[in-house]
Every structure is written in C-alpha cells, then in structure tokens.
Amino acid sequence: MSQAFVKENDEELLHEISPTLNALQVYLTRQNNGVSVYEKSNGITQAFSQEIHLMSNGLSYGKDADGRWQIVD
C-alpha cells in the first residue's frame, strides 16, 4: 500500500476538528497547501442565531447543533 493512499485515509475532516476558531484556521491552512487562511469577518445569522465566520478562502463556516464545524451557505 502506498504512503499517499494511507495519508489520504488518515486525513482529518472538517467536522472532526476542535470547535475553536484557531483549530479551524489551522485546518483550513493545511487544506490550502500551507497558505494562511484567516477570518475576514464574523456575524450572527438571524434565521438560526448561529455565529458565522467568513474566512479568507471565500467560504463561511459555522457550528452545527452538536458544536461541529460546517460550511454555511
């Protein structure tokens, strides 16, 4: 079995990382080939009263009801 195949299966998923903003930034930077990803702005959605973080990669992230990170539309 190749090392690349093993590494791919061991990769951490978004919903598996710690529910802190720092952990999200580290995860996204790793996913972005080491290019730093940072928070551009944050706010609260009115529909769900959920805190949303707009990141420099162009996506918004929030936590689900269980406190796990997810991409928010």
What's the pLDDT tens digit per position in 29-61? 999 999 999 999 999 988 778 899 999 999 999
Tell me the C-alpha distance between 41 and 46, whole Å.
16
* Prediction pTM value: 0.81
User: The tokens of 45 are what?
Assistant: 């959605």
Which residues touch 71 (CB under 8 Å, ≥6 apart)? 14, 59, 60, 61
| Dihedral, 28, 22, 63, 48 alpha carbons, nearest 10 | -110
pLDDT at 67: 94
Whether pLDDT at 26 is above 60: yes
